[in-house]
Amino acid sequence: MSVTKIEFAVQMTCQSCVDKVKDSLSGVKGVESVDVSLANQSVIITTTLPSSAIQAKLESTGRRAVLKGYGDGGGRAAAVAVLGCGEGVQGVVRFVQADADTCVVDGAVDGLRPGPHGLHVHELGDLSQGCDSVGDHFSLLGTSHGGPEDDPNSRHTGDLGNICADETGRATFRLTDRVLKVWDIVGRSLVVTDGPDDLGRGGSPRSSQDGNSGRRLACGIIARSAGVFDNPKQICACDGVSLWDERDRPLTGPGRRISNH
């Protein structure tokens, strides 16, 4: 599995904090290196694990951790989709182009029914009618629907297969795909469906269209995002929300801004 770098801002005030952060990731399978800077309150991890798993380890020390960059920067393309638009399903999915032939897809989605759910990139970044206006599956070659392991001529470009939610309704995943390219999907959308994707192998008439994976539960526009060292933000000047407070506030809408009273 491809290795990526993840940068977290972590609240640390002393060497003891640094030691506890290092200890939380020591010996963890899938973690190759940990670089901690007390001066910058940053932790950079080289890993094959999902970012949510790393965040949970860091926060097990009692310190807050905020993801600031995914991928090593330096020209590597990175993108992110924040999923929502009804149905009570929400999540964040990140993409990084690890090399010319490998796209890493890393995410966590909450509010799902336990079991498998389809994950697809759709052709349009139009949420004017929620998930109904994002178009069909993104397909550079105009091919039929298939699975992520299929030949590029036997799948849509955006066919990412299934993610699996546990008994709490959370799906945590890290996938690698050899067809998807980050520069092709920025401005398009990502969708999670109600049912499992049959990977084009079912008997339904919809199998060759969308894997007969059911309703679109959540979706979000795929936007360019920061890599490691690319995000110096400590506070959002537009609404006065600090890096740490942002963890407890909605991304938009009521409750986002700091009250003037």
> Which DSSP category does 250 fall into?
-
Please tell me whether residues 82 and 170 are part of one structural domain.
yes
* Res. 258: pLDDT tops 50: no
Please tell me whether residues 41 and 161 are part of one structural domain.
no
Please tell me whether residues 208 and 236 are part of one structural domain.
no
- Whether residue 255 lies inside any domain: the answer is no
* Res. 244: pLDDT tops 80: no
Give the model confidence (pLDDT) of 57-82 as tens digits: 999 999 889 888 887 655 568 899 99
Please tell me whether residues 168 and 130 are part of one structural domain.
yes
Tell me how far apart the alpha carbons of residues 97 and 75 are, in angstroms, rounded to a whole number: 10
- Whether residue 257 lies inside any domain: the answer is no
Percent of the chain exceeding pLDDT 70 equals 84
pLDDT band at 104 (very low <50, low <70, confident <90, very high): very high
Least confident of 66-70, 127-131, 138-142: 66-70
State whether the Cα torsion 173-179-180-182 is positive or negative: positive
Query: Contact, 196 vs 118, CB < 8 A?
Result: yes
Please tell me whether residues 121 and 159 are part of one structural domain.
yes
- Whether residue 165 lies inside any domain: the answer is yes
Domain boundaries, position 26: 4-74+226-248
Short-list 108, 115, 17, 120, CA closest to 67: 108
Element (H, E) at 159: strand 159-165
State whether the Cα torsion 222-55-117-194 is positive or negative: negative
Q: Looking at residues 226-235, what average pLDDT do you find? A: 55
Please tell me whether residues 67 and 134 are part of one structural domain.
no
Give the CA-trace dihedral at 26, 71, 247, 259, to 10 degrees: 150
- Whether residue 260 lies inside any domain: the answer is no
Q: Looking at residues 115-140, what average pLDDT do you find? A: 96
| pLDDT, mean over the chain | 86
Please tell me whether residues 177 and 118 are part of one structural domain.
yes
Please tell me whether residues 85 and 163 are part of one structural domain.
yes
Query: What is the Cα gyration radius of the chain?
Result: 19
- Whether residue 258 lies inside any domain: the answer is no
Percent of the chain exceeding pLDDT 90 equals 70
Q: Report the predicted TM-score, pTM, of the whole model to 2 decimal places.
A: 0.79
- Whether residue 254 lies inside any domain: the answer is no
Please tell me whether residues 28 and 140 are part of one structural domain.
no
Q: Looking at residues 13-28, what average pLDDT do you find? A: 94
Q: How far is CA 236 from the centre of its chain?
A: 21
Give the model confidence (pLDDT) of 156-213 as tens digits: 999 999 999 999 999 999 999 999 999 999 999 999 999 999 999 998 889 999 999 9
Please tell me whether residues 92 and 188 are part of one structural domain.
yes
Least confident of 24-38, 73-87, 112-126: 73-87
